[in-house]
Amino acid sequence: MARTVIVVIDGFGVGAMPDAGALRPGDLTADTCGHVLDHARAAFGRPLRLPVLGALGLGLVHPHRDLARSTRLPVSAGRAALGYPGADTFAGHQTMMGADFSRVTVARLADHLDEVTEALTAAGHRAERLDGEPLLLVDGAVLVHDNLEADPGINWNASGRLEDLPFDGPGGILAVARTVRSVAPVARVIAVGGHADGPLGSFVRRGDGDTVGLDTPATGFYRNGGLEVQHLGAPLDHTRQLPGLAARAGIPVTLVGKAADILVCEQADRRPAVATADVLTYTLDAVRAGGEALVVANVQETDLAGHQQDAGRYGQVLEQVDAGLAGLLALLTDPGDRLIVTGDHGNDPSIGHAHHTREYVPVLIHRPDGAGVELLPDARSLADVGATAARSLALSARDLAAGTPLVADGAPRGAAFGG
């Protein structure tokens, strides 16, 4: 009756990948983990309190004076390259769950304005450029624009104020986003509805790579409550991802936090949340329910702190996560249980910009029935994390579209393992 819990600390990188400077040369110095730890000493006058992350082997993966250099827990610890272009939460999670996301199309909205406008007009919408900029104002209320939080050209957004129109339903924000998705070549189109501090046009700015879009954190959407988001991804075979594979095998699946918004699995119990306390509570509740389980949880507030270039806040959230991981370790004690802690990209809050950073991420696996500490070679892709989780649940990693298990657990259900 194995239980596997994957906790994704959003934006938690452990050092720049070799190609991190392709877009921004300064990103070659990115080190989210190290810089947050260094900032804590300077700002708080003490090290961050991360005993559980240390015990899970974070200091083995990322040596630092404020992280334990050894552990008595039975863990496997290593790093993973991202396995997809850029640094993006959606692409990161889809890859982690076993999708082959190595061929993401990168495109600015400016290069596709005509076909997007044509599609919106054919769907009965009124679309026009806003103040001559390469973004669209739809029906006088919804902005279609480049996403400025991810690397340029990875995602587009359709954003609106909930005071002006509904999120769902005919003519709503989501309907506009779905029309854009029908012609968009990018990884995802994100429908965003929230309560802004003013007219959306006042928060438009230029981003990297000649992109133009809404500065979503500046609008107040993340602060003012009532946020509604739906991620419309590029076509993928979700049946060949970990949640679908587990559900078909009769294993209950719970998706928590942002994972509930961006992962596809009809049978899953969804627990969307932004507040870290809620994410941890829902995750613990899912484990306490007993029986077999796959739980995938995303801690988003680390990523938000990275976007806000707030290293102090980032550190505080990490401490909160560490305390929650202690509760999970206390529950996941049976042979076959697994706790996997990882990230989806970096988001260095001291790098000097508000974008994700292309970094390796930690892969920390607690194995109650394991023997000692195993140091893992660098994984080529986050897909290897999903394949490892599949194997821990005695599922065949072959049934995923991508990924190779990092550790050997048991024989998969009904088939010999073939990678």
pLDDT, one tens digit per residue, over 271-291 is: 999 999 999 999 999 999 989
Sheet hosting strand 253-257, strand order edge to edge: 269-271, 253-257, 293-299, 3-9, 338-342, 361-366, 75-80, 374-375
- Compute the mean pLDDT over every residue in the chain, rounded to the nearest whole number: 93
Please report, rounded to a whole number, the percentage of residues in the chain having pLDDT higher than 90: 85
Tell me what pLDDT residue 103 has: 65
**What's the pLDDT band for 69 if we cut at 50, 70, 90?**
very high
**Angle, CA 403 vertex, CA 400 and CA 408 arms, to 5°:** 100
DSSP H/E element including 142: strand 142-146
Tell me what pLDDT residue 98 has: 96
Tell me what pLDDT residue 419 has: 28
Please enumerate, as own/partner, the contacts of 399-405 that have beta carbons within 8 Å and a separation of 24 or more: 399/240, 399/245, 400/97, 400/98, 400/240, 400/241, 400/242, 400/245, 401/98, 401/99, 401/100, 401/237, 401/240, 401/241, 402/83, 402/95, 402/98, 402/99, 402/100, 402/102, 403/98
253 exposure class (CB count in 10 Å sphere: 0-12, 13-18, 19+): buried
Report, as an integer, the average pLDDT of 320-342.
97
**What's the pLDDT band for 233 if we cut at 50, 70, 90?**
confident
* Spatial CB neighbours of 192, under 8 Å, sequence gap ≥ 6: 157, 158, 159, 160, 173, 216, 221, 227, 228, 229
Q: Which of 37-41, 388-392, 415-419 has the lowest mean pLDDT?
A: 415-419
* Spatial CB neighbours of 206, under 8 Å, sequence gap ≥ 6: 212
Residue 318 main-chain phi, psi, to 5 deg: -60, -40
Tell me what pLDDT residue 415 has: 32
Tell me what pLDDT residue 409 has: 66
Q: Which of 416, 97, 386 shows the shortest CA–CA distance to 238?
A: 97
Contact between 3 and 338 under an 8 Å Cβ cutoff? The reply is yes
Q: Is the dihedral of CA 63, 66, 70, 72 positive or negative?
A: negative
**What's the pLDDT band for 240 if we cut at 50, 70, 90?**
very high
Tell me what pLDDT residue 104 has: 67
Looking from the CA of 405 toward its CB, the CA atoms found within 13 Å total 22
The tokens for 135 are 């973004």
Contact between 5 and 297 under an 8 Å Cβ cutoff? The reply is yes
Residue 374 main-chain phi, psi, to 5 deg: -120, 120
Report, as an integer, the average pLDDT of 4-18.
98
Position 417 pLDDT exceeds 70: no
Position 416 pLDDT exceeds 50: no
Q: Which of 24-33, 189-198, 388-397, 400-409 has the lowest mean pLDDT?
A: 400-409
Report, as an integer, the average pLDDT of 148-169.
92
Residue 228 main-chain phi, psi, to 5 deg: -125, 130
**What's the pLDDT band for 192 if we cut at 50, 70, 90?**
very high
The tokens for 258 are 């942002």
**What's the pLDDT band for 149 if we cut at 50, 70, 90?**
confident
Tell me what pLDDT residue 187 has: 84
Position 412 pLDDT exceeds 60: no
Contact between 405 and 76 under an 8 Å Cβ cutoff? The reply is no
Q: Which residues pair with 3 in a beta bridge?
A: 293
Q: Are strands 228-233 and 75-80 parallel, antiparallel or unpaired?
A: unpaired
Contact between 411 and 369 under an 8 Å Cβ cutoff? The reply is no
Tell me what pLDDT residue 418 has: 28
The tokens for 260 are 């509930």
Please report, rounded to a whole number, the percentage of residues in the chain having pLDDT higher than 70: 96
Position 102 pLDDT exceeds 70: no
Contact between 403 and 387 under an 8 Å Cβ cutoff? The reply is yes
Top pLDDT among 208 and 304 is at 304
Tell me what pLDDT residue 181 has: 95
DSSP H/E element including 32: helix 32-44
Tell me what pLDDT residue 236 has: 82
- pTM to 2 decimal places: 0.80
Position 26 pLDDT exceeds 60: yes
